[in-house]
Structure 1
Amino acid sequence: MRRALALVAGVAAISATASPAVAQTPAAGLRAGAGQADITPPRTGYYLGGWTRADRLVEGQQTRLFAKAMVLEQGGRKVALVAVELFMVPGGLQQHVAEALADRGFSTGNVLISATHTHAGPGGFANYATLNTAAPNATMLFTDAKALGSLLNPVRADPQLYAFLVRQISAAIRQADDGLAPAVAGWGDEQLLGVTRNRSLEAHLANHGVQRRPGQGKVEDDPEGYGGTIDPEVDVLRVDQVVDGRRVPIGAWSQFADHGTVVKAEIRAYSGDHHAAAIRVFERTVREEADVPDDHPVVNVYGNGAEGDMSAGLDHTGPAGADEVGRAEAASMLRAWRRAGAAMTDDLPVDVRWTQTCFCGQWVEGGRVADRAYPGIPFLTGSEEGRGPLYDVTRQAWEGVKSPRTILAGHGHKAIVPVGSFPKSVPLMVVRVGDRMIASLPGEPTKESGARVKRDVLQATSPARVRKVVIAGLANEYINYITTPEEYDTQHYEGGSTMYGRLSLNLLRQSLTDLSSRLVRGQAAPPPRVYDAKRGVVPVGTPFPEGAAAGALLEDAPARVPRLGHATFSWQGGAFGADRPVGAAFVRAERRVGGGWEEVDSDLGLAMFWRTGKDGRYAARWEVPLDAPAGEYRLVVTATRYRLESSPFTVQPATSLTVAAAPAPPGAVAVRVAYPAARENVDLTARPDGVPEGEVTFTVAGEPRAVPITDGVAALRVPDGAPVAVATGAATDAHGNTNATELRLR
């Protein structure tokens, strides 16, 4: 189901994008602020959280990881909406972040932290030790005593990493709170089709009474077809500050359901996956379109929604694939953001309710919920995008494997694996902003689980003029997956990873509906269960080391680099990536302009990649953009304690355009001109489907005929029988890149 994804192009700003004068915001109106902090650990060597394989350790960085925050305040009520580029949010960590901000009026009840669910962030920061366990492969079981010991006796959270994350996430919220100013806000939405598909289709179809064996389901089996198998909703809360009577955007809180599994475990580097591309493209475009000053924050607080079975990682792989997916998401978010610009107001309700709900065997729709957490066999084999070590050995996914009878109450026919410990109680939060209600879920809800929560909450709140419900998944705690009873009964990976049995969702639906109903009626939340999710973990750890005092050049940059090629540079520094500064660029690309150097890119963006290890040998590469001005460049390393520069190198036009015959009407010839396909796990950025504009010079019977390229195609009418060719260098794009291979058409 590969589908072409639309890339963000230069779109003319519509009237909603401008910053029209508005009435001065009264003191009682909305106030808002935005902030961010670098949460990329200044250390490699952690296993990749999400993939949780002990043989997939971090060796470098493809993109930075960030915490993004938006604080809203109105009528004495305050709420922090936060997204972190991690695979999950432990409940104890959320509690520690809230406590660090108590002096500012924050608590566990008004800080909503949602994970993007990138699988290329660090592991090892969970309050529950089971979630710090990375599965060893078969060889490691016999050769690595540490890996085996960790499997049998899960380790506590790494104190350095845990304290670092609490400190940096708190800093993002603090920055947003410091920047509170009069503001206006509004919602926009879009639908994004063709990017994701349901990776557990047969389990999803069970919701419609359609029974199919694993691998036998078809999207046509869903009553609504493909659109019914995914969650296509893109919801964007746009927020603009009011500065001297004019609107200045500070960004948005955005939601779309999509697993963070495009960048696979083989990359072995920190990466925000497709979220990183969506965030950066959105922020850059908003800043440019609205002419936001450089010192004014613009953030895209993009977490995740009902993504349990939603994935772009089935059809896209590697950094370039993540860039492609993220740009499509950003394009949809930007359309929603522009639409929201026409309905901005400072007079919209902002309110929040929070409680703590226990899986304690209480009655819910369908019976009693389980009071003990257990995984099933499919939990051990991983998902379709990247199976685990057990699958490597058995070549079996173990999906659909069930017990012939119920072993434990509430768990149905799950083939129980009696391992691990998981949160017994979970926080739930609903946030009203204007006519939308945000409902949190403490794990990975499937598309249909999210739909049922949306339906119930909307039914309870629509009399109070709530128009739509938005899911914040992976929020404030992590209990793995959340499936419908029908999906659970199929015992695919998601059902096998639903820890509290087949009625888990029904308890969460019941609690969220009650919480939402209380909010719109102005009633207090039900008393929360007293529960300490910290598990004895404290945010106290020795700071990460500052790295080497000096660096030494090992291999200089090449003398010439073509566009779309890689400028490389290596040096000797400190072990395990400790040389990288937090919150500042580590590796920069600079271009000579006049008598000085101007920064054009850095490892804070999407086109840098560096690796290192325990030996402290670093290797970096920068992917030169297809439109980079030709000229002299250099790479600069700015570590915590030293600085290195490569020798200057020349960026040249690429000669890698491809020219192929295209369909043409009688009496004409046509060619399609394209950029080279991105190489999986090598190239870092997406390329357009075709060269959007440029020129092709055909040679017709020995005579040159220049024709413009339109949407990747150049066509020309030619005499019958005349020989036609496109010579080397005869096809060029708007930036002067050319083809290196001749094409003879006839």
Structure 2
Amino acid sequence: MPPPTTRRSRRRLPVAVLAAALGAVTLGAPSPATASGTADDGDYLVGRGIADVTGEAAETGMMGYSSFDQKTSGIHQRQRSRAFVVVDRSSGKRVVYVNADLAMIFQSVQQGVIARLKERYGSLYDEENVLLSATHTHSGPGGHSHHVAYNLSVLGFQKETYRAIVDGITDSVAKAHEDLKPGTMSLGTGTLTNASVNRSREAFDRNPAADRAAFPDAIDPAMTVLRFKQGDKDAGAISWFATHNTSITNKNTLISPDNKGYASYAWEHDHEGVRYLDDTPGFVAAFPNTNAGDMSPNLNLKPGSGPTEDEFENTRIIGERQLDKAREIYDA
């Protein structure tokens, strides 16, 4: 059943932001093909890139749960930055979208990345056409903000973690820049109902009746997938969906991109044959968050619980549920 119109603007906000960015760098009215969500081969250049942003894996405070006792002791999965560059060939203008396996993007990181890009490319990339986002994992090393409050539980600024993040994001953009080829984009939507639950149902039930009716399960089930092709070859995807990236709890001390990072890895590695150490262009699958709010992946409404009692197994299952729906929308 088509989703109610009252839900459309909320769930598509991140896509609207990216579309606005693309529109802002495109001069003139869209062609009929562009208006329908695709473009002729000659309209756009599309590039994608991926790089490592894993910080210090031992004895560094972790970012997300503000727990003084949570310090890194190893790696479950590495953190990565996934970048997409789109160029409007008619105007020469471009936009960069990055999604990184981080808790959040601090201003310190944004400033560092922009400075590094300007060193490489001059005025080609700046604050106006580079959009950085995070998956909101709570299982990465912290201390990469310039604001004291965010570094308190980490016991200060962590220079090496900050450097790994800034360098990695910059490298992912550089790879996307070098990968630019004539390409197309298309947009698809669907619903996913078994990868999130409202962790504050009592509060939700105090909303006006119209709001409750728009979200009958007290969750936003919408998934939106942006598909990238280079010529006739699949190049990558951005799959927006609202669920917290917190299948792994604050008892964990292993670095992990959590359920969204697992979804990215499984699509790239298992389905598309990407091998990160080969350092060659390949399919890039990003799984950004949208209006996560009270959308929890812990389906039993307890940290690390749901659908099983094993938080790492839950990470895989919730990640695969997002992956399966994203690929279904992508293929359709």
Q: Cα gap change, 1:238/1:134 in structure 2, threshold over 3 Å: closer, same or farther?
A: same
1:92 maps to 2:77 = no
> Quick check: 1:236–1:255 contact (8 Å CA) kept in 2?
yes
Question: In 2, are the aligned partners of 1:32 and 1:180 still within 8 Å (CA)?
Answer: yes
- Within the alignment, does 1:123 sit opposite 2:142 as a pair? yes
C-alpha contact 2:56 2:160 (8 A) present in aligned 1: no
Report how far residue 42 of structure 1 moved.
4.5
Q: State whether residues 70 and 301 of structure 1, in contact with CA within 8 Å, keep that contact through their aligned partners in structure 2.
A: no
Q: Give TM-score scaled by structure 2 length.
A: 0.78
8 Å Cα contact 2:261/2:319 also seen in 1: yes
Aligned match for 1:40, one of 54, 64, 70:
54
Instruction: State the match for 1:53 in structure 2.
Output: 67
Q: Is the 8 A contact 2:60 2:72 kept in 1?
A: yes
Q: 1:175 to 1:294 in 2, by over 3 A?
A: closer
- Residues 507-559 of structure 1, C-alpha deviations (whole Å, 9 max, x = no match): xxxxxxxxxxxxxxxxxxxxxxxxxxxxxxxxxxxxxxxxxxxxxxxxxxxxx
Relative to total residues, which structure has the larger strand share, 1 or 2?
1
What corresponds to 1:206 in structure 2? 206
Structure 1 residues 133 and 42: CA distance shift in structure 2, 3 A: closer
Asked whether the equivalents of residues 75 and 256 of structure 2 are also in contact (C-alpha less than 8 Å), the reply is yes
- Of 274, 296, 317, the residue aligned with 1:324 is 317
- 1:226 deviates by 4.1
Deviation of 1:85 (Å): 0.7
Other-structure match for 2:45: 31
Q: Which residue type is aligned with residue 239 of structure 2? A: S
Instruction: Tell me by how many angstroms 1:287 deviates.
Output: 2.0
SS of the counterpart of 1:267? coil
The alpha-carbon distance between structure 1 residues 248 and 294, as it changes in their structure 2 partners (threshold 3 A), is farther
How far has the Cα of 1:326 moved from its partner? 0.4
| Paired residue type of 1:109 | E
User: TM-score, normalising length from structure 1?
Assistant: 0.36
Q: Name 2:128's counterpart in structure 1.
A: 109
Q: Tell me whether 1:240 sits opposite 2:229 in the alignment.
A: yes
Aligned partner of 1:613 in structure 2 is none
Q: Does 1:258 align with 2:243?
A: yes
SS at match of 2:185: strand
Q: Which amino acid letter does the alignment assign opposite residue 73 of structure 2? A: E
Task: Name structure 1 gaps, 5 residues minimum.
Answer: 1-22, 136-149, 211-220, 340-746
Instruction: Tell whether the 8 Å contact from 2:56 to 2:161 is kept in structure 1 after alignment.
Output: no
Partner of 2:83: 69
Matched residue type, 2:84: M
Structure 1 residue 108, shift from structure 2 partner: 1.2
Residue equivalent to 1:301: 286
Give yes or no for contact 1:267–1:318 (8 Å, CA) kept in 2: no
- Distance in 1 of aligned mates of 2:106 and 2:214: 36
Q: Is the CA contact (8 Å cut-off) linking 1:282 and 1:331 kept in structure 2?
A: no
What's the CA shift for 1:281? Answer: 2.0
Q: What are the within-5 Å matches in structure 2 for residues 81-480 of structure 1?
A: 81-102=97-118, 103=121, 105-134=124-153, 155=156, 157-208=157-208, 222-223=212-213, 226-227=216-217, 229-242=218-231, 247-284=232-269, 287=272, 295-313=280-298, 314=301, 315-316=305-306, 317-339=310-332
Which whole-Å CA distance do the structure 1 matches of 2:111 and 2:86 have between them? 19
Q: 1:112 to 1:300 in 2, by over 3 A?
A: same
Letter in 2 for 1:282: W
Describe the shift of the 1:65–1:294 C-alpha distance in structure 2 as closer, same or farther (beyond 3 A): closer
Measured in 2, the distance between the counterparts of 1:209 and 1:235 equals 26
Q: Which runs of 5+ in 2 are unaligned?
A: 1-38
- 2: distance between equivalents of 1:37 and 1:325? 24
How much does 1:308 deviate? 1.6
**Backbone CA RMSD of aligned residues:** 2.3
Q: Secondary structure at the match of 1:266?
A: coil
Residues 695-718 of structure 1: CA deviation (Å, up to 9, x unaligned): xxxxxxxxxxxxxxxxxxxxxxxx
Structure ranking higher in helix proportion: 2
| Alignment check: 8 A CA contact 1:81 1:253 kept | no
Could you tell me the percent identity over the aligned residues? Answer: 28
Using the TM superposition, give the Cα deviation of residue 209 of structure 1 relative to its aligned residue in structure 2, in angstroms: 6.7
Do 1:67 and 1:84's aligned partners in 2 also have CA atoms closer than 8 Å?
yes
Of structures 1 and 2, the larger Rg is shown by 1
